[in-house]
């Protein structure tokens, strides 16, 4: 993968998606800037072994330290020889369930599908901290789209999406990310989640600060060029 996304701010949304370098191992999925730092947890799936809900789902196979599992809830799905979860007869319904070691701030979710696409409006982060189930949507960033035929079996597109939530101040440590197929013939290829603890998220500069830093860097570069 050759994709790199940096200093990206989504205006009008609650999420800040920023500083994302490329990842070679997960098919155009991106790594957030904080992975591997203090307070960060991650999990990834690239080869699935469980197609339908068995109460446990798929453990991460890409490493990471998050206690997360990915479950598919429609009974018609199957695991292909490629390791993808494919559903030609029904609408797949996916959940990633995670419990972090501390209340979380940033939650980053990457997903790649082949064939038919997800219902992107269905992507929700849900949690319950004693006041009933809460659902939060967030802006979606499309990282890649490669069309290889008309919609339906054998066609469609390879699509990689990124969504980020900021849960700072909510006291959430256990949550689920839910997302559904928009049509039959969705093939789930890979997914990752990353979290950063709320205490560490509070140390990250506000978007306005990053924008000022970027502007200052650009001015310095311009001044240096003019002095040549």
If you average pLDDT over every residue of the chain, what do you get? 83
In the 3-class helix/strand/coil scheme, how is 122-150 assigned residue by residue? EEEEEECCCCCCEEECCCEEEEEEEEEEC
Q: Is residue 138 assigned to a domain?
A: yes
Q: Is residue 155 assigned to a domain?
A: yes
Q: Which residue has the higher pLDDT, 205 or 214?
A: 205
Q: Is residue 110 assigned to a domain?
A: yes
What confidence score (pLDDT) does residue 20 get? 39
Q: Is residue 224 assigned to a domain?
A: no
Domain count, the chain: 1
Distance, CA of 140 to chain centre: 9
| C-alpha distance from residue 151 to each of 45, 119, 143, 158, 162 (Å) | 25, 14, 20, 11, 22
Q: Is residue 139 assigned to a domain?
A: yes
Residue 55 has pLDDT above 50, yes or no: yes
Q: Is residue 13 assigned to a domain?
A: no
pLDDT 10s digits, 56-86:
999 999 988 999 999 999 999 999 999 999 9
pLDDT-derived band of residue 219, with 50, 70 and 90 as boundaries?
Answer: low
The residue range of the domain holding 187 is 40-215
pLDDT 10s digits, 90-110:
999 999 999 999 999 999 999
Q: Is residue 152 assigned to a domain?
A: yes
> What's the CATH code of the domain at 98?
2.60.120
Q: Is residue 11 assigned to a domain?
A: no
pTM: 0.80
Q: Which residue has the higher pLDDT, 39 or 209?
A: 39
| Residue 67 burial (C-beta neighbours within 10 Å; 0-12, 13-18, 19+) | middle
**Percentage of the chain surpassing pLDDT 70?**
76
Residue 11 has pLDDT above 50, yes or no: no
């Amino acid at each position: 993968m050759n994709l790199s996304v940096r200093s990206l701010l989504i205006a009008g949304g609650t999420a800040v998606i920023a500083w994302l370098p490329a990842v070679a191992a997960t098919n155009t999925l991106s790594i957030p800037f904080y992975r591997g730092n203090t307070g960060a947890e991650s999990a990834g799936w690239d080869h699935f072994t469980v197609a339908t809900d068995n109460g446990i789902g798929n453990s991460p196979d890409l490493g990471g330290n998050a206690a997360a599992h990915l479950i598919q809830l429609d009974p018609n799905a199957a695991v292909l020889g490629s390791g993808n979860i494919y559903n030609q007869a029904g609408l797949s319904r996916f959940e990633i369930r995670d419990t972090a070691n501390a209340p979380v701030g940033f939650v980053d979710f990457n997903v790649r599908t082949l064939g038919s696409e997800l219902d992107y409006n269905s992507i929700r982060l849900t949690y319950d901290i004693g006041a009933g189930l809460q659902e939060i949507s967030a802006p979606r960033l499309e990282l890649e789209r490669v069309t290889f035929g008309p919609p339906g079996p054998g066609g469609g597109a390879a699509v990689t999406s990124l969504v980020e939530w900021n849960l700072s101040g909510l006291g959430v440590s256990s949550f689920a990310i839910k997302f559904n197929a928009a049509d039959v013939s969705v093939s789930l290829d890979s997914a990752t989640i990353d979290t950063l603890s709320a205490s560490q998220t509070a140390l990250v500069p506000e978007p306005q600060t990053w924008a000022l830093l970027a502007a200052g860097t650009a001015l310095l570069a311009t001044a240096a060029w003019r002095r040549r």
